[in-house]
Amino acid sequence: MAGWQARREPLVFAALLPTLIALSTAGDTLAPGYRLEDGSSLVSSDGSFKLGFFTSGKSNLRYLGISYNQISDQTVVWVANRNSPLPDRTGVLSFSSNGSLSLSDSKGVVYWSTPSTTPAWPVAKLLDDANFVVVGAGEGGYAWQSFDDPTDTLLPGMKLRVDRRTGFTRNFTSWKSDDDPGTGDYTLFMDSNGDPQIFLLQGTKLVWRSGPWVGEGFSGIPEMWNNDMFNFSFVPGTEEAYYLFNSRNKSVQSRLVVQPKGLIERRVWIQSRGNWTVFWSWPSDECDSFGHCGNFSVCDDNESPACSCLQGFEPKSPDNWNLRDAKDGCRRRTAVDCQNGTDGFVLVANTNLPDTSAAVVNENMGTKECWEACLRNCSCTAYATAEMIDGGRSRCILWSTALTDLRVYAEGGQNLFVRLARADLALSSSKRKRRRIVTAVSAAAAVLVGILLAGLVARFIRQRRKSSNTVKSNAWNEEMGRSRELDLPLFELAPIAVATNQFSNDNLLGEGGFGPVYKGRLEGKQEVAVKRLAKSSSQGVEQFMNEVRLIAKLQHRNLVRLLGCCVDGEERMLLYEYMPNGSLDSFIFNKNKGALLDWATRWRIIMGVARGLLYLHQDSRLRIIHRDLKAGNVLLDNSMNPKISDFGLAHIFPGDEIEGRTRRVVGTYGYMSPEYAMDGTFSVKSDVFSFGVLVLEIISGRKNRGILHSDPNLNLLAYAWRLWEEGKGLELVDSSLGYPISMAEVLKGIEIALLCVQDRPEDRPEMAAVVLMLGGDRTPPPHPKQPEFVVARGRSEDSSSSKGPTCTVNDVTISAVHGR
């Protein structure tokens, strides 16, 4: 009887029982003595879910499960007999008077059952939230519920929990495959040790963790921060710790699924498209792999190599580290000296906090008290403060063991304070490799610093009329003779200090190898990004001057713009246009923010980047190769117009030269062309390859990373090629994109991108041809050739002699690749 609920009065319940039994299989309830046969189903009172028999894949095996009732796609969220399928359609679900459920076939063989619960007047009922429960009249709670025996799916309102009194956990385990509901290899569960976290296991191996709860989400799931689609809750109770979510819009169907291939996906049903769309997915990159960089190291997916030692630490196994094997981690350079009170702390910002399984949590303790507590404890290695669930209190997290599984993000994240000996506190920020400037324009930082130094030296020469007898000074003077035409506006220190609130941490946007970057607002109300050169910056004069020669005169609407500089004593600062929308990667690789980039905007970004590259390659007074074009180096202004930034790796071709070679291969994994990665050969076609990768990322919302994974779908280029060849190119489109979408432009963009990522440089078009094709040239583009990275991947996957992952970019092995 749909909508019937157990009443607390036993006599009333008994009176209603005959009617209930008569209608038991027609609604949401099963009464004792009645059966649910294959072909029948229970449907929740609001019609959202149904309990019935189903077949998965091409098999004839039958399972009893719960699925969505009003969605065209058969989406199963719970399976009773996942490891004991019925061989035919004779299955029957029976419910006895002792409150037990039993699934058997026509021969009486039992394939699944629940224990006896002996409630008074029991009934089994499918609730509106998909929980199948056994209840008794007048009894509180459930005698049994399917939510306590989940399969692979966490639904809204369902708890991912651990009972701290009994140790009981609700574990969510993947299917064996997309067609086999049997227990798979991956398990999602909550660990209540230390500061509670969510873990993903492959067998018994930890492969991913959520990090601790930090007020608005888990520190390792940046997609949860500032989210306006879901409500997230976490309760770290003394008896029970649990996490749950709900959709803000009740009409939106959403679920969290542990996939057979080891991904945790948040999926949303898009009614207009008639399919489930992946909203988030974890692990999303190599830094999400648990302990990828070893102890006392930090992982940054935006850098190559991704692993680096924390300040004050050095590789434990330098030889392995040089081979990009960082699993041994790092060790201290200098032992801490707790007794004399000379130790201090270094800040590591924007982190997913290290593993907190063995951490100690002190409630209601602020930053100062937390610092003091760590300093008093000689075994304390680091501390952090995190906001409590109600947002009004903070708690102190103390680590006394090795710092494991630490990573940094481009934006967001938590501050971690790592304990160091006094001797290691003064190490340069460049050695710490806190590399990425976030939210604001990085605005060709290396080049701009070069411009500043060139201007400063020119001014110094004019004012002091001094010359140096050293070789380095002679080089400076020679270069300044070529750079006197630079007209760089100078700003006074005082107004810049006021504009940045005395360089307040509240205005700190990030920090790179050259120093911190602050947001400022000048008296004229113009917003600027202020790059303050660190006194310990180790960049070379020759590099600076080379960069000055490269781009001092470049002016284009799709390149970042320098506004001026400041010199006052030892202070050296650059002011450049502030980009409130930050970098492109923060949008296209974030499902929430990605929805803000409609197709028209993405197409405009593609066109703008193409024009900027064409200017560098052909229309400027020099032929310049960027060598590090990627989503993180494309910045967005107020109107979402793209500007290419960060020319620190750029190269100029003198005269009629069109190709160069280097022994020092620099750049970012996933964007380097094969000839550059393998042989160090670069040309304008190297940038064309990077542009092709970028276009595919903009269209798909996926990174061209994960190339160490055996799944070819995680290689974006191979995946795009396969879809293109199968005539399914539109399936590549980012699921977060709303309508309208120009399908013709999407297909054109994919085809041009595949032309740009051809293996042989001569097969790739020049940017002039790319701009013409993007702009509406009616001449059909040549058909792309099958790239070698697809063939090579197929060969590598078929090889039985493979011993493990090889460090590759599009299946081209990298040797001697140096990070920036």
Is residue 455 within 8 Å of residue 530, measured between CB atoms?
A: no
Cβ atoms within 10 Å, residue 418: 25
Residue 628 is among the residues annotated as catalytic for this protein = yes
CA–CA separation, 14 vs 35, rounded Å? Answer: 19
Spell out the SS3 assignment of 442-500: CCCHHHHHHHHHHHHHHHHHHHHCCCCCCHHHHHHHHHHHHHCCCCCCEECHHHHHHHC
Structural contact between residues 104 and 91, judged by C-beta atoms closer than 8 angstroms:
yes
Tokens 């006197």 belong to 484
Place of tokens 């039958």: 62
Residue pair 230/254 in contact (Cβ under 8 Å)? The answer is yes
CA angle 706–709–712, rounded 5-degree value: 90
Picking from 390, 403, 293, the residue whose alpha carbon sits closest to that of residue 353 is: 403
Residue 84 and residue 324: Cα distance in Å, rounded? Answer: 45
Strands, E assignment, 547-592: 562-568, 571-577
Report CA 113 to chain centroid distance, whole Å.
41
C-alpha to C-alpha distance for 614 and 523, rounded to whole angstroms: 36
Nearest alpha carbon to residue 383 among 375, 391, 634, 768: 375
What is the distance between the alpha carbons of residues 646 and 429, in angstroms, rounded to a whole number?
Answer: 18
Amino acid at 143: A
Which residues does residue 275 pair with via DSSP β-bridges, in sequence order?
Answer: 270
Beta bridge partners of 387: 394
CB atoms near residue 363 (< 10 Å): 10
Say how many C-beta atoms besides its own lie within 10 A of residue 777's C-beta: 13
DSSP track, 216-264: SSBTT-GGGTT-SSEEEEEEE-SSEEEEEEEESSTT--EEEEE-TTS-E
Closest CA to 55 of 65, 41, 47: 65
Query: Which of 343, 628, 687, 811 does the annotation list as catalytic?
Result: 628
Q: In the chain, what's the furthest Cα-to-Cα distance? A: 108
Please name which of 366, 377, 396 lies closest in space to residue 212, comparing C-alpha atoms.
Answer: 396
Q: Is 524 buried (19+), middle (13-18) or exposed (0-12) by CB count in 10 A?
A: exposed
Burial class (CB in 10 A: 0-12, 13-18, 19+), 319: exposed
**Residues 6+ away with beta carbon under 8 Å from 561:** 443, 555, 576, 577, 643
Q: Which candidate, 154, 151, 127, 25, places its Cα nearest to that of 135?
A: 127
Picking from 327, 335, 340, the residue whose alpha carbon sits closest to that of residue 419 is: 335
Neighbour tally for 343: CB within 10 Å: 21
Residue 63 · residue 80 · CB < 8 Å: yes
- Say if residues 677 and 812 touch (Cβ distance below 8 Å): yes
416 φ, ψ (degrees, to nearest 5): -120, 135
Distance between CA atoms of 748 and 145, rounded to whole angstroms? 52
Report the alpha-carbon distance of residue 759 to residue 675 in Å, rounded.
Answer: 8
* Active site amino acids: 628
